[in-house]
């Protein structure tokens, strides 16, 4: 456990809690309660929920890390582990810091390592004994760090509004039991963080809403579904309509239809659903419809592993849809960027009338962290419109390839055409018209690159001779690894992946470069090799569905840059 | 013959094709609807891919030439974007009853307020005459040289089961009658389906048979089951409105009277709401 010693050395205030149990035991809610507890102490928080694709049973856990400093990832080395069942105990035995406390359910394990609590028998006297088990998580933590009982009860009541009496009684019972069994309390410093924390998908949803999203279309697919749920619950208030049609094919085609009416539309899915959208994505390229696609990756191929994380869809996103047409692909490296980038993407797509993708992963979509954004900083760009009543041509040739938009009702016909067409939008197979229209669409690609050159397209964190190229949510793991290990390196993260900001990236290429990504085929590294001639000395990869543990990653980075 | 519904695009349907009858009926219907106060500015169309889809190029109306089988989904998107618009989707039998059948049934199921007109010629004509979902068993085409071994589907019974609130059959050889069906379909508040018997002079020249068998219906049936009985008749081919009922429409159930493009919040309001949600002070 050497790495976990190092970790303690670098951030004394880091404090991690892992709560594990079966689906249906309220593990996720327990994680939420712990996060809230830390937030109320003014600490920065990162919560990662690990769960399986099932409704009851199996093994779920929440890892909640917090510090008085800004942090970028959960950790798998915990100060307190709460195991609600036997499986959890067996899985998390190794996930302890040297001074960490391991709590287990003594009704399921005899003479385990750590502190046994008869959680099942204690819960028996309550109405919903299984569901109430999760309340043990926050109750144990409160006792361990010497929180007073009243504060615990008020927190429990705010996180678990149903069955207050039972929850309060169970919570107090667990708290007393822990105080009896633990000799001294662990130190937990208060911080000055005033931020709230949000899951990545909610941040993406709020970003798009800030930039004027009108309709969100989606078919449920983990890990993108919570965007749909967000708009379904809050859409009325925000003026965003949520629509759940029969299939991803319907989703994408409806979204294109809505843009024809002038509505700003977004869709969200994961790899399998995005595959079903391939033909519509190409249609959006052809008719020049600015639909924003959110692709939240999970391990593939095919159904893969529904509730875990991976970066195996990069190549897919870059090449989605048949035929030649411009697209913009971008991937946020943290929650704040997810907010602004989704908003920017919506505006960019309407400016250039072409489809685009916000590429992210389960790790960002479903993890929560503290963030500080200012919605008034969201830039919105109004699309180029044809204001006159006459002379309208949907695909008017212009210098930059962007034709003015017009929406019905309109005196003149506005013809969006998925077959090759002339400027009016009437079908053609004439050679000179085919070539001219290809060139018109291609011009936009050139103009988009020029536009991106004036934007912030690459994040650079830290400095040093050693350069780490990474992207997407893996950026979080890399930043946390460096923060906690003290390794000196420069992190280079392209925000835009197509067009790839080669002009920026090339500045950072040297012979001490490594790549960190979550793809067995190292798709990101291959992209950088193709586009900027990067020859990394090492590619650190993880492809078991789990995000990197920052300290394990730090060890690998250290090894790679020796 | 040129009018303000013409685009001037060269018409490449075969001489005598049933599609001409449908195009004439649509134009007549648009004129009629304009007389009734529905400006064509508010009429938006979508088409799939196949011979029927060419109608996109021949009608000077706004809309989208969509993908094969996706015209219904496109139409639904347009309607949801701006519910004030009247949207008509044109499909073929291969397109609407094959590739895109799910969209059609779900649009009916949710009573989406659009009109679907299917140019049902019983063959994949544009791709040289393969058997379509409505081709009879034994139909010979380049992909079924020994005759199709599949039985055809009967579209109207399918649509009735799916919950369509307006179900009609027209015939391309009865232009005035068809135009009236289209007017009624567009005026119907909810999902309107019009299946059109459309002979293809090259692959399915059924004009003589249709001329003999079609029989105009006086009134819609009162129940779905009676309408279904009528739909499966083969000794005569009833044309007209089989069934009609009023039911809540999808966009009103979902959004009330909100119109996404007309009632869009101003930027300041959006920002304020998000700030509130984020707890920004």
Which residue from A253, A263, A375 is facing B260, i.e. has the nearest CB? A263
d(CA A24, CA A60): 9
- Cβ–Cβ below 8 Å for A260 and B78: yes
- Between A55 and A487, name the one with better pLDDT: A487
Let me know how many helices (H) and strands (E) chain B has, helices first.
11, 10
d(CA A83, CA A85): 6
> E strand or H helix at A90, and its extent?
helix A86-92
d(CA A132, CA A171): 9
pLDDT class of A467 with cuts at 50, 70, 90: very high
pLDDT class of A441 with cuts at 50, 70, 90: very high
d(CA A516, CA A478): 8
- Between B280 and A517, name the one with better pLDDT: A517
Residues A499-514: tens digit of each pLDDT: 999 999 999 999 999 9
Note the pLDDT of residue A444.
98
In chain A, % of residues over pLDDT 90 = 94
CA neighbor of B275 nearest in space, from A216, A201, A47, A207? A207
Buried b / exposed e along B163-202 (16+ C-beta atoms within 10 A): bbbbbbbbbbbbbebbbbbbbbbbebebbbbbbbbbbbbe
Note the pLDDT of residue A3.
44
Which residue from A206, A238, A426 is facing B9, i.e. has the nearest CB? A426
Q: What is the DSSP string of A273-335?
A: HHHHTHHHHHHHHHHT---EEEEEE-S-STT--TTS---TTHHHHHH-SSS----EEE--SSH
Token pair for A161: 């509004």
β-strand partners of B45: B63, B88
Any idea which residue has 């949710």 for tokens?
B110
* Alpha carbon distances (Å) from A183 to A173, A278, B27: 17, 60, 88
**Domain-by-domain residue ranges, chain B?**
18-278
CATH topology of domain A458-561: Rossmann fold (3.40.50)
Residues A11-57: tens digit of each pLDDT: 999 999 999 999 999 999 999 999 999 999 999 999 999 999 888 88
CA neighbor of A73 nearest in space, from A548, A558, A560? A548
Query: What residues in A contact B64, CB-CB < 8 Å?
Result: 256-257, 260, 287, 415-418
pLDDT class of A357 with cuts at 50, 70, 90: very high
Determine the distance from the C-alpha atom of residue A515 to the mean position of all C-alpha atoms in its chain, rounded to a whole number. 20
d(CA A91, CA A58): 12
Any idea which residue has 């003149």 for tokens?
A412
Query: What residues in B contact A263, CB-CB < 8 Å?
Result: 80-82, 260-261
pLDDT class of A9 with cuts at 50, 70, 90: low
Residues B164-202: tens digit of each pLDDT: 999 999 999 999 999 999 999 999 999 999 999 999 999
Determine the distance from the C-alpha atom of residue A65 to the mean position of all C-alpha atoms in its chain, rounded to a whole number. 17
d(CA A341, CA A347): 10
The size of chain B, in residues, is 281
pLDDT class of B145 with cuts at 50, 70, 90: very high
- Between A361 and A53, name the one with better pLDDT: A361
Q: Are A281 and A344 in contact (CB under 8 A)?
A: no
In chain A, % of residues over pLDDT 70 = 98
pLDDT class of A113 with cuts at 50, 70, 90: very high
Say which DSSP state A383 is in: P
Say yes or no: A121 contacts chain B, CB-CB below 8 A: no
Mean pLDDT for chain A? 96
Backbone angles phi and psi of A541, in degrees to 5? -125, 150
SS3 B158: helix
Q: Are B244 and B256 in contact (CB under 8 A)?
A: no
Q: Specify the domain boundaries for CATH 3.40.50.970 within chain A.
A: 197-377
pLDDT class of A87 with cuts at 50, 70, 90: very high
Pairing label, strands A368-371, A196-199: antiparallel
Residue A5 pLDDT greater than 60, yes or no: no
pLDDT class of B1 with cuts at 50, 70, 90: very low
SS3 A16: strand
Residue B203 pLDDT greater than 80, yes or no: yes
Q: Specify the domain boundaries for CATH 3.40.920.10 within chain A.
A: 2-181
CA neighbor of A14 nearest in space, from A485, A389, A557? A485
Which residues of chain B from 238 to 257 reach within 8 Å of chain A, CB to CB? Answer: 254-255
Q: Are B227 and B243 in contact (CB under 8 A)?
A: yes
d(CA A295, CA A305): 15
- Cβ–Cβ below 8 Å for A239 and B278: no
Cβ partners under 8 Å of residue B16, min gap 6 = B201
d(CA B77, CA A280): 13
Note the pLDDT of residue A8.
52
> E strand or H helix at B209, and its extent?
helix B207-213
Q: Are B132 and B123 in contact (CB under 8 A)?
A: yes
Beta strands of A106-256 (E only): which ranges? Answer: 115-117, 196-199, 215-218, 241-243
Pairing label, strands B86-92, B166-171: unpaired
d(CA A209, CA B264): 11
Say yes or no: B34 contacts chain A, CB-CB below 8 A: no
- CA nearest B275 in A: which residue? A375
Token pair for A343: 């908003």
d(CA A247, CA A218): 8
CA neighbor of B115 nearest in space, from B157, B86, B92, B94? B86
Say which DSSP state B192 is in: E
Residues B53-104: tens digit of each pLDDT: 999 999 999 999 999 999 999 999 999 999 999 999 999 999 999 999 999 9
Q: Under CATH, domain B18-278 is a member of which superfamily?
A: Thiamin diphosphate (ThDP)-binding fold, Pyr/PP domains (3.40.50.970)
CATH topology of domain A2-181: Pyruvate-ferredoxin Oxidoreductase; domain 3 (3.40.920)
The size of chain A, in residues, is 562
Token pair for B72: 């219904």
Note the pLDDT of residue A542.
98
Which residue from B62, B81, B270 is facing A257, i.e. has the nearest CB? B81
Note the pLDDT of residue B280.
73
Which among A253, A280, A340, A427 is the top mutation candidate for probing chain B, defined by the most B β-carbons within 10 Å of its own β-carbon?
A253
Any idea which residue has 């889809």 for tokens?
B53
d(CA A508, CA A486): 21
Note the pLDDT of residue A379.
87
- Cβ–Cβ below 8 Å for A239 and B267: no
Kindly report the nearest CA distance between residue B210 and chain A, in angstroms: 32
Note the pLDDT of residue A55.
85
d(CA A382, CA A86): 57
pLDDT class of B281 with cuts at 50, 70, 90: low
Residue A440 pLDDT greater than 80, yes or no: yes
Asked if the interface predicted TM-score (ipTM) of this complex is over 0.85, the answer is yes
Any idea which residue has 């003015």 for tokens?
A404
Sign of the C-alpha dihedral computed for residues A496, A499, A505 and A511 taken in this order: positive
Residue A557 pLDDT greater than 90, yes or no: yes
Cα A19–A477–A188 angle (5° rounding)? 50
Which among B54, B80, B126 is the top mutation candidate for probing chain A, defined by the most A β-carbons within 10 Å of its own β-carbon?
B80
Q: What is the DSSP string of B29-64?
A: HHHHHHHTT--GGGEEEEE-SSGGGGHHHHS--EEE
Which residue from A198, A215, A253 is facing B74, i.e. has the nearest CB? A253
Q: Are B57 and B6 in contact (CB under 8 A)?
A: no
Q: Are A174 and A82 in contact (CB under 8 A)?
A: no
Q: Under CATH, domain A197-377 is a member of which superfamily?
A: Thiamin diphosphate (ThDP)-binding fold, Pyr/PP domains (3.40.50.970)
Say which DSSP state B97 is in: I
CA neighbor of B61 nearest in space, from A409, A414, A289, A392? A414
Residues A514-549: tens digit of each pLDDT: 999 999 999 999 999 999 999 999 999 999 999 999
Say yes or no: B42 contacts chain A, CB-CB below 8 A: yes
Determine the distance from the C-alpha atom of residue A500 to the mean position of all C-alpha atoms in its chain, rounded to a whole number. 21
Which residue from A259, A263, A415 is facing B63, i.e. has the nearest CB? A415
* pTM of the entire predicted model: 0.97
């Amino acid at each position: 456990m050497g790495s976990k010693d190092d970790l303690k050395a670098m951030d004394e205030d880091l404090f991690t809690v892992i709560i594990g149990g079966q689906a249906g035991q309220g593990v996720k809610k327990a994680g939420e309660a712990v996060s809230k507890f830390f937030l109320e102490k003014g600490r920065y928080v990162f919560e990662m929920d690990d769960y399986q694709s099932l409704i009851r049973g199996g093994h779920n856990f929440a890892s909640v890390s917090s510090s008085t400093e800004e942090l970028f990832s959960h950790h798998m080395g915990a100060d307190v582990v709460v195991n609600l069942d036997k499986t959890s105990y067996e899985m998390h035995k190794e996930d302890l810091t040297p001074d960490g406390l391991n709590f287990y359910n003594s009704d399921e394990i005899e003479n385990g390592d750590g502190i046994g609590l008869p959680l099942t028998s204690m819960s028996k006297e309550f109405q919903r004994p299984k569901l109430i088990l999760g309340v043990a998580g926050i109750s144990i933590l409160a006792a361990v760090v010497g929180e007073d009982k009243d504060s615990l009860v008020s927190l429990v009541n705010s996180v678990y509004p149903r069955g207050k009496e039972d929850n309060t009684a169970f919570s107090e019972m667990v708290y007393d039991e822990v105080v009896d069994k633990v000799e001294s309390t662990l130190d937990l410093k208060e911080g000055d963080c005033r931020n709230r924390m949000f899951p990545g998908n909610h941040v993406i949803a709020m970003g798009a809403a800030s930039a004027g999203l009108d309709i969100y279309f989606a078919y449920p697919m983990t890990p993108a579904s919570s965007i749909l749920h967000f708009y379904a619950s809050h859409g009325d208030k925000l003026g965003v309509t949520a629509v759940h049609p029969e299939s991803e094919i319907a989703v994408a085609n409806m979204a294109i239809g809505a843009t024809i009416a002038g509505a700003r539309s977004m869709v969200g899915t994961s790899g399998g659903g995005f595959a079903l959208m391939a033909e519509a994505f190409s249609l959006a390229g052809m008719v020049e419809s600015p639909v924003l696609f959110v692709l939240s990756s999970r391990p593939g191929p095919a159904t893969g592993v529904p509730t875990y994380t991976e970066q195996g869809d990069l190549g897919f996103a870059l090449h989605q849809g048949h035929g030649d047409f411009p697209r913009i692909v971008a991937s946020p490296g943290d929650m704040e960027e997810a907010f602004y980038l989704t908003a920017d993407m919506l505006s960019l797509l309407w400016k250039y009338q072409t489809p685009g993708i916000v590429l992210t992963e389960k790790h960002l979509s479903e993890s929560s962290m503290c963030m500080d954004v200012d919605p008034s900083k969201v830039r919105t760009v109004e699309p180029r419109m044809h204001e006159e009543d006459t002379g309208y041509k949907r695909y008017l040739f212009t210098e930059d390839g962007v034709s003015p938009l017009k929406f019905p009702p309109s005196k003149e016909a506005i013809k969006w055409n998925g077959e090759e067409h002339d400027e009016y939008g009437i079908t053609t197979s004439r050679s000179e018209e085919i070539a001219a229209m290809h060139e018109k669409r291609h011009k936009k690609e050139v103009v988009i690159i020029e536009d991106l050159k004036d934007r912030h397209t690459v994040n650079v964190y830290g400095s040093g001779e050693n350069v780490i190229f990474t992207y997407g949510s893996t950026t979080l793991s890399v930043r946390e690894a460096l923060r906690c290990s003290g390794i000196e390196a420069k992190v280079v993260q392209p925000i835009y992946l197509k067009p790839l900001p080669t002009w920026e990236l090339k500045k950072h290429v040297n012979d001490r470069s490594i790549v960190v990504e979550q793809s067995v085929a190292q798709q990101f590294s291959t992209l950088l090799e193709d586009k900027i001639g990067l020859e990394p000395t090492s590619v650190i990869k993880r492809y078991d569905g789990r995000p990197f543990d920052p300290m394990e990653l730090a060890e690998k980075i250290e090894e790679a840059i020796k | 013959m040129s009018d303000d519904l013409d685009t001037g695009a060269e018409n490449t349907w075969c001489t005598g094709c049933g599609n001409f009858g449908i195009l004439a009926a649509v134009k007549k219907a648009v004129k009629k609807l304009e007389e009734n106060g529905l400006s064509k500015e508010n009429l938006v169309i979508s088409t799939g891919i196949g011979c029927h889809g060419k109608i996109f190029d021949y009608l000077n109306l706004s809309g989208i030439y969509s993908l094969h089988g996706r015209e219904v989904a496109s139409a639904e998107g347009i309607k949801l974007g701006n519910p004030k618009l009247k949207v008509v989707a044109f499909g073929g039998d291969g397109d609407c009853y094959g590739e895109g059948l799910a969209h059609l049934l779900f649009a009916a199921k949710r009573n989406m307020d659009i009109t679907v007109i299917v140019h049902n010629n019983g063959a994949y004509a544009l791709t040289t005459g393969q058997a379509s979902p409505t081709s009879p068993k034994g139909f010979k085409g380049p992909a079924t040289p020994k005759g199709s071994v599949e039985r055809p589907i009967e579209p109207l019974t399918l649509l009735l089961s799916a919950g369509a609130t307006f179900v009609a059959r027209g015939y391309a050889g009865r232009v005035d009658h068809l135009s009236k069906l289209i007017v009624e379909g567009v005026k119907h508040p909810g999902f309107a389906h019009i299946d059109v018997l459309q002979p293809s002079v090259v692959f399915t020249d059924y004009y003589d048979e249709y001329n003999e068998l079609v029989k105009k219906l006086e009134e819609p049936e009162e129940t779905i089951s009676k309408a279904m009985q009528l739909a499966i008749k083969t000794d005569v081919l009833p044309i007209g409105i089989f069934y009609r009922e009023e039911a809540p429409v999808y966009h009103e159930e979902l959004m009330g009277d909100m119109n996404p493009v007309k009632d869009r919040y101003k930027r300041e309001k959006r920002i304020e709401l998000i700030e509130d949600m984020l707890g920004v002070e």
